[in-house]
Chain A
Amino acid sequence: MKVSTSWLKDYVDLSGITPQELAEKMTDGGIEIDAVEPMDKGVAGVVVGYVKEKTKHPDADKLNVCKVDVGTGEDLQIVCGAPNVDAGQHVPVATVGAKLPGGLNIKRAKLRGVESQGMICSARELGLNDKLLPKELQEGILVLPKLELGRPIGEVLDLDTHVLELDLTPNRSDALSLLGVAYEVGALTGRPVKLPEQDVFAAAEKAADHLSVSVEAPELCSHYSARYIKGVNVAPSPLWLQNRLMAAGVRPINNIVDVTNYVMLEYGQPLHAFDADQVAGGSIVVRLAREGETLETLDGQQRTLQPHMLVIADRDKPVALAGVMGGANSEVTDETVNIVLESAKFDGSTVRRTSRQLGLRSESSLRFEKEVDPARVIPALDRAASLIARLGQGLVADGIVQEVVKAAEPIVITVGLDRINAYLGTEIAKLEIQTIFGRLGFGSEISADGSAVKVEVPTRRGDISRDVDLIEEVARLYGYDNIPTTPIHGDTTPGALTASQAIRRELRRRLSDAGLSEVINYSFTSPARTELFPALGGSSRPIRLAMPMSEDRSVLRTSLLPQLLETATYNRNRKNPDLAVFEIGTVFHTDEEALTALPHEKHRLAVLLTGALRGASWNRKAQKADFYDAKGVLESVFAALGLSGSVTYEADSPEHLHPGRTAAVKLHTELGEQTIGYVGQLHPEAQQAEDLDDTFVAEIDLDVLYDAADRSIVYRTLPRYPAAERDIAVTVDAGVPAAALTAAVKEAAGELLESVRVFDVYTGEKLGAGRKSVALSLVYRHPERTMTDEEVAGLHAKAVAELEQSFSAELRK
C-alpha cells in the first residue's frame, strides 16, 4: 500500500510531523514503512507552457522547432525531439535555468544550428514513474490538460508530497485504505480523523425503476448495494485525481473507473461500475457460476468459470467475477451513458479461492480476501456517487437498491484491567488504558466495580476479536519500549540434552577433532540420485514433492551419500581434491504407495574420504585415504558408543560400490542381527561418472545406535598378574577373512585369551598364488594368578590346531 502524505492530510492533520517522523511513528506502532519517497526529485523552474507552433527542423528529420508560450508574454523557441509534440498542446517546459532530477541544468543551447531556449519535458525527465501512463506519453513528452500558463509544474503534478510504502502484516488489512491509515495515525498522534465529504442526492428519478438486486448466495455476500447514475460524460479525470492515483500506483483510465479506484483507496471498499445499458433487464443477481459458463474479464482473458465461483450476473449472463474483476461485456467505455455503481461485501475466502484458481489478483480481490469493513459499503457507494456526479456530470438517481443479508455490528469485548497488566507485566493506570482506546476510536466503559473495561470495537478493525487482541492494542500504543524487562519467576526446570542429542553432539565433536569437516546438504534431490545406493532398513520408497521447484530437487533424499559425492565433486572442481567430510542429517522414506501418513525420518551419519587424508609435508609423504581409514572412522564411532563388540563387517557388493572393497556393517543386539550401514570404495565406474578419484564412503543409521549405545562406563580393576604374549603366523587362502581367523582363535583359546590382534598381512610369490600370510599376536592372562608356560602352550596349541583344521592354515616357522 502506497500512501501519499498530501492525500493523507485530507483526513488527519499532519502539521508539524515530517514524513520521516511519520514513518518512524508508524513503524514503532506496528505498521512497517518500507520506504519514504519524495515525489519531487529536485524539479525547479519547470512551468506549464503552450505549444503555439511546430515547424520541422531545417537540418534534422526527427527534431521540431516549437514556439512555446509560458505566460511571460514572450514566446520561447524550443527544439524538441519527441514524436508526440504538437501545436495546441499544454506541456511542461523547463525554462533556461531550470533544474531537473539527476542534477541536470537547462541552458540556452543550439541544436543542429537552431537555438533552443529550454526543453519540453517527458514524465520521466520530471522524475515521475511513467509506467502508469499511456504508451505514447511514455515515449514522448507529457501532455497536460488546459492549464494556466506559467504555473509551476510541482503544483500542477502534486509533486510536493512524499509517498510512504506500507509493508502490511496480514492482520492489518484495515490499513489498506487512506482512511484506515488516518485512523492509525490519529491513534499514534492523538489527532482526530476527518471523514470525506458526501453529497445528498435528491433526484426525481428513482434507481429502483432501472435496477433490481437479488442475492442468491447469501452466505457468500452479506450485503450488496447499487446506485444508478444517468447521463455521465466519460472523459479523462482531472489532473489532481490522476496525480493521486498515480502516487498510489494505480493507472488512470477514465473519470468513472478512476473514481471507483479512488474511493477504493480512500475507504478500502472496492467498487465496480457497469455500463447500465449492457446489464440485461436491469437486474443484478449475485449467484454462483453455472457449469460451463465463461466470462471475458476486463484484462481481455476468456475465463472458464467453476460452480463454486461467485459471479454478478444480469438476467442472462455473468457480467463480473464478484470481487475479483469486471466483465468486458459490461465495461464502462467512452460510449457509456448510464452506469450501475456496485458496492458490496463478498466473502473473503471465496474471493481468495477464485482469484487463486484463475491466477487473477487485483486491488479489489486483495481487499475482499482480507474482509472489507461492512460498515463502509454504503458510505463508499455514496462517496463514489458524489464524485461521479461532480466529475462526470451524471445524475444520481434517488435511492440505493440493495439486499442486506447481515448488517454490520461492532463487537464488544470486556477485559479485566488486572488481566491487561498481568499479561504485559506493566502497571498501566485505568485512565491511560481508556485514553488509549479513545485514541484508537474505540468506545470504552469501565465496569461498575472498576475492575474491567468494556470496549466497543468498530467493524473496521476486523482483526480484533478477543481480549488478547485488545491487550496488544494497549501494548503497542503504550509502547513496547515501556514494558519492563523481568526474569521469569516460579519453579525452575533443569535444562539438558536428550540421549540422542548428546550422541549427535559427541559424534560431531569427535569426528571434527579427528580431522573431518561437517557438511550440510539439501534435503531435496533428484529421483535418480535416490537410487544410487542401497536402502537401509528395508523400505526406501522416496517421497516426491507435489510441486517441486525443479526436477533436480523434486524428491526427499533417502541417503546422505549421493549429495556427499556432489560435495566432493564441487570441491574437486575448486581445487580441493583432498576431502574428509561427514554429515549428520535426516533421510526420508515411506512404505506407502501414496503418502497418507507422515513418512519415516531417520538420522544418518555419512562419511566421505578422498584424496590425501594428511597432505604431504617437508617431513612426510601424503597419506592417501583408503578403505581402512573409512572403516576406522566407523570403528571409532562404535567404540565411542560402547558398541565395539556388537558390530561386524561382512564383505558385500551393493550397487555403485566396489564389489571387492565394500562391507555391510552389522549390528548384533538381543533383537538379532541387522544391517545398519555400509562402508566401501565407490565403484570405479561411479567414480568416473562423478569425476572423482578413489573415494571411500560410509553411511550408518543413527537411530538404532541411540538405543543400542552403552553410555555407562564401569571401571574394571587393573590386571594384577602378568600376561603371556605369543605370536602365530599362518598362510591361508587369500579369500579367508582375517576376522574369521581371530574369531576362531578366540573360540578355541577360551576366556584366558585376553586379546588377539592382526599385526601383519602379507602376500607374495613365495607363498604361491591365492595364498596369504596372516600374523596374529595373542595375549593370555589369568585374572587371579600367573599362568604357567605349560598352560599357555596348551591353549596356544589349541588355537593353532583350530586354524589348521578349519582354514587349512599352515603354520609359518
Chain B
Amino acid sequence: MAGIVKEEKGKIATRDGYGKGLVAAGKENKNVVALDADLSDSTRSEWFKKEFPERFFSMGIAEQNMIGTAAGFALSGKIPYASTFAIFSERAFELVRNVISRNNLNVKIAGSHAGISTGEDGKSAQAIEDIAIYRSLPNMVIIQPCDAIEAEKATLSLLEYKGCSYMRLLRNPLPVIHDIRYKFEIGKGEILTKGKDAVIFATGALLYESLKAADFLKEKGINVYVANIHTIKPLDTKLVIELAKKTDCVITAEDHNIIGGLGSAVAEVLVENYPCRMKRIGLKDVYGESGKPDELYRKYGLDAESIAKEVNKFVGKNK
C-alpha cells in the first residue's frame, strides 16, 4: 500500500462523515437547517435531527419540494443542507437548475448511495450520471469525498462557502485515508503518491482502488502519481495540467459514467491546455446491476486489479 492507507484505521462510509460534519455544522452555526426526503437514516442527516430536532425538516418522499423549500430557507438567511439519494436528487433536477443554481442560492445538496457501489439495489438506485448533469450547471460546486474524514471536513467547509453545491456520498464503508489533521480545501486536489510513468486522477471510492493499483504497478516497475480529485467542479486545473506535463500519460478513475464525469472534466482541461494521451476508467456508458459492491467493481473494471491492468496496458503503449 503506498504507505497511505493504514488498515487499522478501519472503514467508514462517506455518508457517515457527512452526518458527523452536519452535526458539527449545526453546532457551529444556528442558522444551519437540514431537510431530508424520508431517507434520513440512510443519509445520516438523522444524526442532525437527534441533536437539533427543531431545525430538521422531514419533507416526505417529495424531492422537488425539498429542493424548493431549501431554496426558501436560503432566501431567508438560513443555511440548508438537503439530503437524499443521489439518484432521487436528479428527480428534482429542474429545480436544482432553475431555483438553486440559476439564483446561486446557498443550498448544500447531498446525494448519497451514488455509483454502482450502492450494490444490491441495482441499477434503478445507482446514480452514474449525477456528476455529469450537475457539472453542466453554472455556479454549482461538486465534491466527492474519498473517505469519511474528508466528507466531514468538506461538509464543514461548505458551511463557510456561500453558494450552491452538490456533495456525492457513498453507501459503503471505505478505508480511511486521511487523518484528523487533514486540511480540506474546496477546489484543491491532493497528490498522494508520486511516479513519473503516469498520473491517475481519482475521485470517491476509486481513490482507494487507485492507490492499491499503484502498489500493484510498483511491483511491475511502473510508478504513477495518484491524485485525489475531491472537487470535480471547480476542477483543480493547475494540478491537472502540472501532472499531465510531468507524465504525458493521464488516467482518470471514477464510479460514474465515463461521459460527463471526472474523465470528461480532465479531458476538457487538457485538450485546451496540454493535449496528451488519456484514458478514462469508469462505467463505459452502461448501467450497473444488482450484486455485491466488490463483485460489481470487478465486473465493471473499477477494482484495483482492473485499474492496474488498464494502466499497465496504457503505459506500455506509451513507452
A associates with B? no
